[in-house]
Amino acid sequence: MDVVSPVVATLAAPAVSEGPSVFAVVFPLTMLLLIAVAVPTALVVLNKILAGWAVGSRNDMAGKHEPVESGLPAVIGTAGERFSIKFYLVAMLFLVFDIEVAFLYPWAIQFHHGGWGMVGVLAVFLLLLEVGYLYLWRKGALDWDK
């Protein structure tokens, strides 16, 4: 009987609480989730009700359901239509000359610390950039009429 009595004593002893209960953890999260769903839903429903009351029905205009792109009254062509390579060339040139500005900012920070010796570095950078610009000009990449 001595062997059984410690087991029975352990089972009869109250459980020691080591942290918050499951309810104390789950209930606030559940309430937060319910509020996170209820508030946007209520705002959308309220918007539909008040917009119908304040504005009325405005879907009866002739041009309301017509597609508009870039100010043009109708779409011209199809989605599979080919574009001129000039558009891609302009995009690439924009990226190249836009990166120049990204390189000028660190130069300005270093110029503050490095002094006038940084002007030579800037001159070499701008010279290389100008050589690239002149190359593109000679090749006709900047000629918009072609």
- What's the pLDDT score for residue 70? 67
Between 122 and 27, the more confident residue is: 27
Looking at the structure, tell me whether residues 35 and 72 fall in a common domain.
Answer: yes
pTM listed for this prediction: 0.40
- Res 113: pLDDT: 79
Can you tell me the mean pLDDT for 62-80? Answer: 68
Last residue of a domain, one of 81, 102, 119: 81
Residue pair 74/66 in contact (Cβ under 8 Å)? The answer is: yes
Choice among 71-75, 79-83, 91-95, 102-106 with the minimum mean pLDDT: 71-75
Q: Which domain does 102 fall in, by range? A: 85-139
Q: Is the pLDDT of residue 58 over 70?
A: no
pLDDT bracket for residue 122 (50, 70, 90):
confident
Rounded to the nearest integer, the mean pLDDT of the chain is 79
Q: Rounded CA gap, 118 and 108, in Å?
A: 9
Residue 15 pLDDT > 70, yes or no? no
94 with 110, same domain: the answer is: yes
Structural contact between residues 83 and 77, judged by C-beta atoms closer than 8 angstroms: no
Is the same domain home to 38 and 71?
yes
- pLDDT tier, 27 (very low <50, low <70, confident <90, very high otherwise): very high
The answer on pLDDT for 2 being more than 80 is: no
| C-alpha to C-alpha distance for 106 and 78, rounded to whole angstroms | 45
Q: Judge whether residue 120 has pLDDT over 80.
A: yes
Residue 30: the pLDDT is 96
- What end-to-end distance do the CA atoms of the chain give, in Å? 105
For residue 43, is it within any domain? Answer: yes
Domain for residue 51, yes or no?
A: yes
Domain membership flag for residue 91 = yes
110 and 72 housed in the same domain: no
Number of domains in the chain: 2
User: What radius of gyration, in Å, describes the C-alpha atoms of the chain?
Assistant: 35
In a domain, residue 62? The reply is: yes
Rounded to whole angstroms, how far apart are CA atoms 104 and 125?
A: 9
